[in-house]
Amino acid sequence: MREQFTVRAAVSVVIMSIVLSVLLTSGAAFLLQNNGGGTFIRPVTLIFGESVLLVPVFIFLARRTNNIRRVLRINAVPATTLGITVIFSLGVVVWADEVDRLITSVFPPPDWLPQLLRADDPVSLLLIFLGAVILAAVAEEILFRGFLQSVLENHWKNVTRAVLITSLLFAVIHFNPSGMIQIYLLAILMGYLAWRTNSVFPSIVMHGINNGLAFTFINWGEYLEPWYAWRGHVSPVILIGGAVLTVIGFRRLSNSRG
């Protein structure tokens, strides 16, 4: 990256993006509530909030670079790399789920949190999937792994520090104390993927798979728990399978050329 952006500027843009998203989402929810938005308030505001998340970043970069895609790591990767990422991600997310189950058994999440992904009808189901799984993965990965982590890597010349700090901010802005450890660990792995491949697409894949798992279990958990879980935890068989996929995926990614 030839462009030089200060750490303060990058962090300020990220915070501005989050604040703007929260304010506009709150305003949209208020307007929908007063105009009979009903069951579509949550999915519509979710989509809107994720859609505006990148606006400050693009405005900031438009004046400072002629190659926004490169700065944000929107770089193509081989299909084989994405396939390996899927294998790696499937293994990682089941272990992340078990970490989350262990923590929430001691520190339960607020009751309202699962409701964000719960759908009441087919249209809401589709809209929540679009907002929480697809748009969230794309927008948040471009903002954090594409923009912020890239700037920190370039400024500090220390990938590990850049990944850890980016991941910490990413975990904090989710405002989920009981899930912070799980989010932080996943963010570190997503940071590794973005750095290793110099692209946000692999981290988008992992992010989407993780959110997709949460979305699936919140809406159809009663059908999946009998074969997926054991005594309130992820089944040992699935955990073993997850470990195998994680090791295979990590080795293939480590040996690939991106």
Q: Each residue of 115-168: pLDDT tens digit?
A: 888 988 899 999 999 999 999 999 999 999 999 999 999 999 999 999 999 999
Exposed, middle or buried, 102 (CB in 10 Å: 0-12/13-18/19+)?
A: middle
Distance (Å) of CA 66 to CA 13, 50, 153, 206: 18, 25, 20, 29
Report the pLDDT value the prediction gives residue 255, as an integer from 0 to 100. 85
Report the pLDDT value the prediction gives residue 18, as an integer from 0 to 100. 96
Report the pLDDT value the prediction gives residue 176, as an integer from 0 to 100. 87
Phi, psi of 106 (to 5 degrees): -100, -40
* CB 205 within 8 Å of CB 90: no
How far is 229 from 132, CA to CA, in rounded Å? 24
Task: Tell me which amino acid residue 243 is.
Answer: A
Report the pLDDT value the prediction gives residue 215, as an integer from 0 to 100. 96
Non-local (6+) Cβ contacts of 2 within 8 A are: none
pTM, 2 dp: 0.94
Report the pLDDT value the prediction gives residue 116, as an integer from 0 to 100. 83
Report the pLDDT value the prediction gives residue 1, as an integer from 0 to 100. 41
Q: Which residue ranges of the chain lie beneath pLDDT 50? A: 1-2
Non-local (6+) Cβ contacts of 176 within 8 A are: 109, 113, 183
Report the pLDDT value the prediction gives residue 245, as an integer from 0 to 100. 98
